[in-house]
Structure 1
């Protein structure tokens, strides 16, 4: 850590060290994290003057799809304790939007002694984390000069506004997009790290990715979840865990979870766990379909009325008479001539044939049946095929577009209002997949439309030369193959300038040329509307809980100063500060939604809730009710089990060996899958999972969360015994991409042949030395090879070996 960051710890008033038992002149030790017990008297010559405690509404704005509310209690300009929402009324369905333990620990983030406090510039190599303090004027000049230089020399396509999700609050991060678009724009991006595969794949089937809200499970008889683990990842009152629990209590549906891990969702919500080899979910679906078809459990009327491609009679003209239908594939009459029986699937999935048959019969006879998938199954090699395949179960059984059913997609919900800072349009039409930005730095001009998914042009004309990164640890920590990414970023002739705003010196921040200390959303005017919210939408609005500490500044104030140096401040600010923008955006929303409270009322109450007038969100209901009046956004207007559009992509795109795109939603073996010859060297499959102690990497430095939920490698006793590994021992996990040292959790809660560690742990490695990560960061071991259709991250498809140290 640099001298400037160390010296600030001597600053007592307003510092976090003051809360760790430091003696204060005129009084005894006090704790910012644990207040003195009632009745404890301070000693000293004079009694300090106590200020009144104030309560400010705020929210946890990290990317867990929750957006839970917080009430922050402030005294003497410090957050002294935090509670969550206590204003809802469950009796009327307007439930409390209560935060999980992550959000409730936000005080330790706000007051953390390692928070960034001053602007700094890099003085060592990228990735070394060596910085020196500079003035804000130097920082403004440095940013303006480099941005202008790169725009002039390379043009706006060389600028990259990095994918980041540490601050999901629409009145904050949008300022950066506004600023960039006013300066000619930047290279565009499509997709995300979380759900690019499912977002890319499902429109070929449904024309959309839509799903029922899982509050609608109250109407289900059976719920089958593929890799869905909301109990750990979305535990707050704004998340699906609340709605799932309420629906199960009221409706009593049976729940089956299919997952390589006996997750907390399985432990607390499921009636049955079906462990499965990672990346083979589509093979399980194929075998379930075989039983459904063989035993006449499919909904023939639904398939005939709403679908294209189930059997020969419903095939498009271009594919008739060629045995290309879904039914032909399943029954062994297609090109591979292999019947997809439960016995066939058992050899692939590890799930017993009898279990598959029983599952199929339950799905086929339960009316209605809700099929959901989490985002884990699609984040695999060839994961787009898996995403579409899982959706075939509700299609085959006619559970689409009805209460108690689902499309097979992940979760959706009720949204009644959207509002954000106006950003304008990006003048640059060229786009790349979000995950492929390292390729665009390393060999951008080699990237093409047909081989790499470039959109808007046939090929990139310039590499990425500058990165804006706001509130994101995705430069390294949340990206793949950190060691290779490190090599690319260290070459300053490739990407010439990186500016990062963050609250900590994260692993990604170590690669900044200019590192700027940010304020948290609760430390500035803030609002957020719900992400996922089931059958109740909401808005949370708050004011800054404390004054800015040290030299931290808001993103908006920094961009305003840079805009001033570039001669566009008036255009950028329109004469508004952050508070004025907050009011402006809200009032614009009220013009479209007159039911919203006034701005003053919203500030006073903090939270506004609204129930879904339809009771529960049901995806494709209008289509189900009247398919002619409400066609889908597919070429045929129907559910396209067989996609001619994908057939054309297969014929024209340049796909690497092992990359599979099929016009049918069927099983496609993946690279580094269970049957890859590489298993002779690296015999264990290693998917990651989203961990309850973090939201991606957010909260990854909070001590109590790390103590409550330590980073561990799950390994089955069978695999541990053969390697001489005992529970709690440190092991090394390795492949050709890197090595991680981590504690072993020996447990039967994971399938033999599979190990797993939670994603998001902070990377801790000597990148000038052995590069061994001792922080438990899974992306030391993941691949930069994108999936074929979405060109997205396959971060759950990894082959590794584990050895005792």
Structure 2
């Protein structure tokens, strides 16, 4: 008698067989089952039914979406990945649907380069070569513990560093910080991040430390003019319940015009956006200055708002220390300031590439707008002049008084309404010194020379030593997300500079090849996990492990616990708790703060918990606008600071290079390598952007996504014709830092004079040979010189030449 076979059972069986085919080099996604069982009445064999379980979990990469994943598991294998979608056509419904990357997790989890066992660098091999041999967990822990203790004894805790990483997020996803504090010594910490360091640094000088974002995108539905500076939400945040969804919903519902100011016709322009305003990279501040000139010259600024809510617009509102010296913003714009240059549209046109008449027309529209919504992505500030650029963009809503009211924002990136969860505590770090996240390799190379005045070290005047022990967990930042990869390789491969590098990850990345010992990690979706996030609405995702850990893989928590035990600090680290114990405890702490949350058991069963913002939209700085006396900002003046006396004092007390253009007001500063500093040898600008097929370098090694999203250099037809380049040609992009080869995308979607290349592609070069990167990793060509103030990442500030390979 035959067993009943549903279509669902057949699909599941087929998927499982496809997984087996992948291991044999066949189709990983479309294989059919060859496993037969019962014989039917007609004598033909039928596929055997399979037992399936469904487990909720979530994406956990550096995207605020962290979308829901519905894992179908058969015989301890994920055979299908689905996501969450409510039965609703309401544009305001909260649906954390995974993008194509999240739906490709199965190919990533079962990647042939998955790390399954502890490994150490092979005898006689150098860091960066990627040659390893399998060892036991006991051997790995002994090597790690011994090197850690030696570094502590010989150099002190400032020589220990936990590297910046973005490959794993969740309530219990970052145990390494807790480990280093539990050991009783602490470690050299970092500040900032690779994404928005410049804007993070300058915003407290403008609005105070408590203002970190703008209004939510839903607020822009009430605007009559929306300006999007260097942002493409549908590419950078693709999930179904964050900025991608929120932008599309706003785009369909807003009554206002939408202008996108960007060197590239990005994917967010496809739809009901009204106009692309192509601009030379790094010149947004010059455009703003020229618009400000027109607003001031035509008496179109909101003088009442500037006098009541701001300091530094004109002479009358400057602090006493700056008066009588022509240091106001108005002086700078109108040509009576330090440089005696009037910032007219004619001045800005050759810098920005935007015609003077177009700038005047844009200024007129801004002046006429009753509700102006200015939103800046993090691309414009990720430059050598990023602090000034980010500040300058905020000047448009400040000058026109479009802050704290319906339909407005403050010029920062869009804000959100989130469900917040408490994370596992890190403990207290006794080490006070910190460095910029962008300075790790510098601190390995010359840490003992790095100072507060010149290098942005905080907590101490000078570092006491170089970094000698590095933990690189769930991150490809040593090379792939860092700058000037060739220089980084030379430092990291020199074993005299750093004694020990511990790597823990899921795949063999380029950065992991610099490890001395590698520990095999678990994906977040392979272990119990929770995370809270949101966009216009908030949500929480909870998940269980789909199967027991395979091979000799361990969670980072369990690996850290073994190291703590080897150093006699297991109790201090674990407090007698498993990772799931910590997860439950942290969640109960969250419920004490937010009683609306479901119980732990309910959350785990639901998988997805959503909540709409009861206010409807986040309006940035609404309380300050309503009553600036009762609700002052936490700036020294309590107001918006257009001239910052605190920043002027900082500049006077610190050291800067001759071409580090710094000022206590928002000004346009030419880039080190930019529109005004191209050369005959390198006549094109090179700018990065985020890509659909990756999130930074996450998913960068998944072949099916690489096929769907080939790595290309976008080049304008006029620049391509001059070089004899056609669509699909392999081209070489090079500058003073290195060279890479990749496909050419000849398109009018990028401004002439600029080459655009998606960041995050995996570096692939013979570092003992010509060092030409065949993976198309833009950081082969980016400068490792940090931005002047934040000591942040200037990875869009580059010049280059392009030729046929």
- Superposition TM-score tier, normalisation by shorter sequence: over 0.9
Question: Cα offset for 1:93?
Answer: 3.8
Residues in 2 aligned to 1:377 and 1:655: alpha-carbon distance in whole angstroms: 22
**1:468-617 pair list within 5 angstroms:** 468-530=471-533, 533-617=534-618
Shift of 1:264: 0.6
Distance in 2 separating the partners of 1:425 and 1:21 = 45
Measure, in 1, the Cα distance between the counterparts of 2:35 and 2:479. Answer: 49
State yes or no: 1:630 paired with 2:631: yes
Q: Is the 8 A contact 1:734 1:740 kept in 2?
A: yes
> Distance between the aligned counterparts of 1:608 and 1:692, measured in 2?
26
Once the two structures are superposed, what CA deviation does each residue of 1:284-305 show, in whole Å capped at 9, x if it has no partner? 0000101111122211111111
**What residue number does 1:307 align with?**
310
Distance of aligned partners of 1:583 and 1:273 in 2 relative to their CA distance in 1, 3 Å threshold: same
User: In the alignment, does 2:424 pair up with 1:418?
Assistant: no
Match for residue 316 of structure 1 among 314, 319, 332: 319
Q: How far off its partner does 1:88 sit? A: 6.6
Q: Distance in 1 between matches of 2:440 and 2:587?
A: 34
What is residue 3 of structure 1 aligned with on the other side? none
Q: Distance in 1 between matches of 2:775 and 2:602?
A: 46
CA contact (8 A) 1:89 1:96 kept: no
Deviations 1:445-492 (A, max 9, x none): 111111001111110111100101110000111000000000001111
Separation in structure 1 between the aligned mates of residue 783 and residue 457 of structure 2, nearest angstrom: 20
- Are 2:335 and 1:336 equivalent residues in the alignment? no
Contact 1:205–1:388, Cα closer than 8 Å, also in 2: yes
Q: Is the 8 A contact 1:499 1:514 kept in 2?
A: yes
Q: Which residue of 1 aligns with 2:135?
A: 134
What is the aligned partner in structure 1 of residue 370 from structure 2? 367
Q: What's the CA shift for 1:55?
A: 1.2
8 Å CA contact 1:15, 1:111 repeated in 2: no
Helix, strand or coil at the partner of 1:590: helix
Shift of residue 19, structure 1, vs aligned partner: 3.3
Aligned counterparts of 1:218 and 1:670: Cα–Cα separation in 2: 35
Whether the 8 Å contact between 1:88 and 1:96 is mirrored in structure 2 is no
SS of 2:542's equivalent? strand
CA contact (8 A) 2:17 2:31 kept: no
- 1:103 and 2:102 correspond: yes
Taking the aligned partners of 1:65 and 1:34, their CA distance within structure 2 comes to: 31
Counterpart position of 2:467: 464
Gaps of 5+ in 1: 1-12, 24-29
Match of 2:715 in 1: 715
CA contact (8 A) 1:284 1:349 kept: yes
Q: CA deviation at 1:230?
A: 1.1
After superposition, what is the alpha-carbon deviation per residue over 1:638-673, rounded to whole angstroms, capped at 9, x for unaligned? Answer: 000001111112212100121122111111111112
Q: Tell me: CA distance 1:49–1:572, structure 2 relative to 1, closer, same or farther (3 Å).
A: farther
CA distance 1:422–1:46, shift in 2 (3 Å): farther
- Counterpart in the other structure of 1:19: 21
Asked if the contact 1:310–1:327 (Cα under 8 Å) also holds between the matched residues in 2, the reply is: yes
For residue 472 of structure 1, give the secondary structure of its aligned residue in structure 2: coil
Spell out, residue by residue over 1:672-724, the C-alpha distance to the aligned partner (whole angstroms, 9 max, x if none). 12112x51221110011111110000011122211121100001111111111
How far off its partner does 1:546 sit? 2.1
DSSP-derived class of the 1:469 partner: strand
Work out the CA distance in 2 between the residues paired with 1:591 and 1:800. 55
In the alignment, is the contact (CA less than 8 A) between 2:673 and 2:797 conserved in 1?
yes
The aligned residue for residue 6 of structure 1 is: none
What residue in structure 2 maps to residue 216 of structure 1?
A: 219
2: CA distance, partners of 1:312 / 1:238: 46
Deviates more, 1:400-409 or 1:384-393: 400-409
CA separation in 1, counterparts of 2:657 and 2:341? 25
Q: 1:793 maps to what in 2?
A: 793
Q: Structure 1 residues 311, 42: closer, same or farther in 2, change over 3 A?
A: farther
Q: Is the 8 A contact 2:18 2:27 kept in 1?
A: no
2:17·2:34 contact (CA, 8 Å) conserved in 1? no
- Cα 1:126/1:241, change in 2 over 3 Å: same
Which residue does the alignment assign to 2:688?
688
State the alpha-carbon separation in 2 of the partners of residues 386 and 250 from structure 1.
30
Which of residues 365, 377, 382 is equivalent to 2:380? 377
Residue deviations 1:510-544 (CA, integer Å, cap 9, x gap): 101011111100001111111xx233111100001
Match status 1:227 vs 2:236: no
8 A Cα contact 1:473 1:697, kept in partner: yes
C-alpha separation in 1, matches of 2:530 and 2:190: 25
For residue 731 of structure 1, give the secondary structure of its aligned residue in structure 2. strand
User: How many pairs align?
Assistant: 783
* Alpha-carbon distance between aligned partners in 2 of 1:92 and 1:116, rounded to the nearest angstrom: 41
Deviates more, 1:47-56 or 1:459-468: 47-56
Q: Distance in 1 between matches of 2:272 and 2:656?
A: 41
Distance in structure 2 (CA, Å) of the matches to 1:415 and 1:708 = 32
Distance 1:164 1:506 in 2: 13
| Conserved? CA contact 1:16–1:112, under 8 Å | no
Once structures 1 and 2 are overlaid, which stretch shifts more, 551-560 or 247-256? 247-256
Matched residue, 1:429: 432
TM-score normalized with structure 2 length: 0.94
Of the structure 1 ranges 331-340 and 375-384, higher mean CA displacement relative to structure 2 is found in: 331-340
- Secondary structure of 1:101 counterpart: coil
Q: Quickly say closer, same or farther: Cα 1:456–1:31, change in 2 above 3 A.
A: same
TM-score in terms of structure 1 length: 0.94
CA contact (8 A) 1:139 1:514 kept: yes
Return the alpha-carbon distance in structure 1 between the equivalents of residues 803 and 299 of structure 2: 49
**Does residue 53 of structure 2 align to residue 54 of structure 1?**
yes
What is the Cα deviation at residue 38 of structure 1? 13
Aligned twin of 1:765: 765
Alignment of 1:633-652 (within 5 A): 633-652=634-653
Q: CA separation in 2, counterparts of 1:371 and 1:108?
A: 39
CA displacement at 1:106 relative to structure 2: 0.8
Provide the rounded CA distance (Å) in 1 between the counterparts of 2:24 and 2:295.
Answer: 68
Aligned mates of 2:499, 2:288 — CA distance in 1: 47
Matched, 1:76 2:72: no
Contact 1:197-1:379 within 8 A present in 2 as well: yes
Q: CA deviation at 1:158?
A: 0.5
Partner of 2:247: 244
Q: Is the 8 A contact 1:432 1:455 kept in 2?
A: yes
Report if aligned partners of 2:37, 2:46 keep a CA contact under 8 Å in 1.
no
Alignment RMSD (CA, Å)? 2.0
Match of 2:449 among 438, 446, 449: 446
- Does structure 1 residue 164 correspond to structure 2 residue 160? no
1:40–1:561 CA distance, 2 compared to 1 (3 A): closer
Structure 2: unaligned runs, 5 residues or longer: 1-14
Contact 2:713 2:755 in 1 (8 A): yes
SS state of the match for residue 699, structure 1?
A: coil
8 A Cα contact 1:686 1:799, kept in partner: yes
Report the secondary structure of 1:686's partner residue.
strand
The answer as to 2:35 corresponding to 1:36 is no
| Contact kept in structure 1, 2:421 and 2:587, CA below 8 Å | no
The residue matched to 2:60 in structure 1 has which SS? coil
Further displaced range: 569-578 or 42-51: 42-51
3-state DSSP of counterpart to 2:205: helix
- What do residues 313-368 of structure 1 show as CA deviations (whole Å, max 9, x unaligned)? 11111111221111111111112111111110001111111111111111111110
In 2, distance between residues paired with 1:353 and 1:503? 52
